[in-house]
């Protein structure tokens, strides 16, 4: 929980710098709102009737409640609206390591603009958040739905009736490239689209060709699109978005240690399964956890809110799986949250209790965590302090209360000082807490 709170605090702080506002929506929504998005989500939704006989369900993501929220509050919201939403979602599926039936998501969206600067800002914000979480290096791979769709159409020669369905299926297969490999994706494409094995192999070869930085080699695609101004524009736009994202995330400064610099690159094989993306799509992997999968993904969508309102509200956004991030940080051995150990007040006489509480209030007022011992004997209190990882124990009895002084003990060395004043204690804490 400490780790999850640290992640959530980091997300809030960075989002605030980008001008995002936090919203909250209830866990329970009307079943009508939740259902009908897809067969899988319908099946996985927790649904029941409430005490008033209404069909309700627990949200299975934050996207649908957000769309409902935007439609409902469209006259009060100032567009483009930038929102942060964090909360639990529920899915009735089998659990796996790091995947639970109840888990926390974090969504960041800019809605009400189709400007490519918004795409850059979303990518930059996610990159900032992941940088601030100190995972080590990570890779954000950014693709483009129109570019990829254009390539699939041109190279596989898909046209006419039923081409939309074929292309969707092809995208889902291309999305599996990293998981199942080129050979199997090519067979799937041949089977699904009816295109020639040569054409399918060529598509996959172009998608897999990388320049020295690991990004998709764009030269063959530029050639392919040379006679198509619209697709050329989509490709140029993608490049601008990624250049802007890099600038927004890291400024114009060279990272001192190139190996620690997160990678933000164009990878046209990023397809993303979900149907609603219409522009950039991205996913993010942690370089130190190659098999872990994406920790943060999203893209541009044009009609997410259309289910609830006629108003056109294009947007761009993405999700971080908070519980997955916790699992990732733990797997990297970065799971412990450093906190200053508390100061412990051991009370050896009931006559010192009031004095002890007053000392505790001063220590806390100075910003230090302070624990008060509740056991009757000093030994038991110091044992508890040791278990809490305490270094500084303040021991107070009748004498200390009478003279308004403290006995201070360094539990790490056993050293002890008598007759310390409260001011001397504060000085000691301020100096010692910044010790290496």
Rounded to a whole number of angstroms, the minimum distance from the CB of residue 252 to a copy of itself is 5
What DSSP assignment string belongs to 12-70? HHHHHHTT-EE----SEEEHHHHTTS-HHHHHH--EEE-TTS-EEEE-S-SHHHHHHHH
Letters for 255-284 (x = contact with a copy of itself by CB under 8 A, - = none) are ------------------------------
**Residues 413, 120: Cα–Cα separation, whole Å:** 53
Rounded to a whole number of angstroms, the minimum distance from the CB of residue 211 to a copy of itself is 21
Q: Please report, as residue ranges, which positions from 110 to 149 form the binding site for a copy of itself (by CB under 8 A).
A: 110, 113, 115, 117-118, 120-121, 124, 128
Rounded to a whole number of angstroms, the minimum distance from the CB of residue 304 to a copy of itself is 18
What stretches of 251-377 show up as alpha helix (H) in DSSP? 322-331, 353-365
Rounded to a whole number of angstroms, the minimum distance from the CB of residue 51 to a copy of itself is 4
Rounded to a whole number of angstroms, the minimum distance from the CB of residue 91 to a copy of itself is 9
The 28-30 sheet, strands edge to edge: 28-30, 55-58, 47-49
CB 174 within 8 A of CB 268: no
Between 4 and 428, name the residue whose CB sits nearer to a copy of itself.
4
Between 111 and 167, name the residue whose CB sits nearer to a copy of itself.
111
Q: Which of 302, 264, 252 is nearest to 123 (CA)?
A: 264
Q: Which one-letter DSSP state was computed for residue 435?
A: -
92 binds a copy of itself (CB under 8 A): yes
Residue 74 token pair: 């469209």
388 binds a copy of itself (CB under 8 A): yes
Between 198 and 353, name the residue whose CB sits nearer to a copy of itself.
353
Q: Please report, as residue ranges, which positions from 34 to 63 form the binding site for a copy of itself (by CB under 8 A).
A: 44, 46-48, 50-52, 58
**Residues 344, 360: Cα–Cα separation, whole Å:** 9
Q: E strands, 113-214, where?
A: 138-144
Q: Which one-letter DSSP state was computed for residue 88?
A: E
**Residues 334, 394: Cα–Cα separation, whole Å:** 32
Helix (H, G, I), strand (E, B) or coil at 343: strand
Between 298 and 315, name the residue whose CB sits nearer to a copy of itself.
315
Rounded to a whole number of angstroms, the minimum distance from the CB of residue 340 to a copy of itself is 10
- Applying CB under 8 A, among 158, 347, 395, 411 the residue interacting with a copy of itself is 347
330 binds a copy of itself (CB under 8 A): no
397 binds a copy of itself (CB under 8 A): no
Q: Please report, as residue ranges, which positions from 169 to 188 form the binding site for a copy of itself (by CB under 8 A).
A: none
Q: Please report, as residue ranges, which positions from 93 to 112 form the binding site for a copy of itself (by CB under 8 A).
A: 93, 101-102, 110
- Applying CB under 8 A, among 196, 198, 260, 361 the residue interacting with a copy of itself is 361
315 binds a copy of itself (CB under 8 A): no
User: For the chain, how far is it from start to end, CA to CA, in angstroms?
Assistant: 27
With b for 16 or more beta-carbon neighbours within 10 A and e for fewer, the 4-19 pattern comes to beebbebbeebbeebe
Rounded to a whole number of angstroms, the minimum distance from the CB of residue 28 to a copy of itself is 6
Number of residues forming the site for a copy of itself (CB under 8 A): 74
**Residues 163, 169: Cα–Cα separation, whole Å:** 10
**Residues 162, 95: Cα–Cα separation, whole Å:** 37
- Applying CB under 8 A, among 36, 157, 335, 367 the residue interacting with a copy of itself is 367
CA 426 to centroid of chain Cα atoms? 38
CB 121 within 8 A of CB 23: no
335 binds a copy of itself (CB under 8 A): no
Between 199 and 282, name the residue whose CB sits nearer to a copy of itself.
282
24 binds a copy of itself (CB under 8 A): yes
In the block, residue with structure tokens 């890099």: 246
- Applying CB under 8 A, among 97, 179, 230, 387 the residue interacting with a copy of itself is 387
Between 189 and 305, name the residue whose CB sits nearer to a copy of itself.
305
Between 388 and 418, name the residue whose CB sits nearer to a copy of itself.
388
């Amino acid at each position: 929980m400490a780790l999850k709170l640290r992640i959530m605090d980091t997300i809030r702080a960075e989002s605030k710098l980008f001008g995002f506002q936090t919203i909250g929506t209830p866990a329970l929504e009307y079943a009508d709102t939740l259902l009908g998005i897809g067969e899988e989500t319908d099946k996985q939704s927790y649904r029941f009737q409430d005490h008033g006989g209404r069909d309700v369900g627990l949200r299975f993501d934050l996207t649908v409640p957000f769309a409902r929220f935007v439609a409902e509050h469209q006259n009060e919201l100032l567009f483009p609206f930038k929102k942060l939403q964090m909360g639990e979602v529920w899915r009735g599926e089998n659990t796996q390591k790091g995947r639970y039936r109840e888990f926390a998501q974090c969504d960041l969206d800019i809605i009400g603009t189709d400007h490519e600067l918004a795409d850059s800002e979303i990518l930059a914000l996610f990159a900032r958040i992941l940088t601030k979480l100190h995972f080590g290096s990570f890779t954000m791979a950014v693709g483009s739905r129109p570019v990829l769709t254009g390539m699939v159409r041109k190279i596989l020669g898909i046209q006419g009736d039923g081409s939309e369905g074929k292309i969707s299926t092809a995208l889902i297969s291309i999305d599996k490239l990293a998981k199942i490999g080129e050979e199997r994706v090519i067979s799937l494409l041949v089977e699904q689209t009816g295109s020639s094995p040569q054409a399918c192999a060529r598509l996959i070869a172009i998608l897999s060709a990388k320049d020295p930085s690991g990004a998709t080699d764009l030269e063959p695609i530029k050639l392919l699109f040379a006679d198509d101004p619209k697709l050329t524009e989509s490709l140029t736009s993608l490049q601008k978005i990624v250049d802007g994202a890099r600038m927004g995330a890291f400024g114009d400064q060279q990272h001192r240690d190139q190996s620690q610099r997160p990678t933000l690159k164009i990878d046209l094989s990023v397809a993303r399964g979900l149907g609603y993306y219409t522009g950039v799509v991205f996913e993010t992997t942690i370089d130190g956890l190659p098999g872990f999968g994406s920790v943060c993904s999203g893209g541009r969508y044009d009609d997410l809110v259309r289910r609830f309102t006629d108003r056109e509200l294009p947007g761009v956004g993405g999700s971080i799986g908070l519980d997955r991030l916790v699992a990732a940080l733990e797997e990297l051995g970065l799971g412990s949250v450093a906190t200053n150990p508390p100061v412990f007040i051991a009370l050896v006489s009931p006559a010192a209790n009031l004095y002890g509480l007053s000392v505790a209030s001063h220590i806390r007022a100075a910003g230090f965590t302070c624990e008060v011992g509740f056991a009757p004997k000093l030994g038991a209190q110091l044992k508890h302090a040791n278990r809490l990882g305490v270094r500084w124990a303040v021991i107070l009895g009748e004498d200390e209360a009478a003279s308004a002084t403290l006995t201070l003990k360094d539990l790490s060395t056993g050293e002890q000082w008598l007759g310390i004043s409260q001011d001397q204690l504060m000085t000691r804490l301020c100096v010692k807490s910044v010790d290496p």
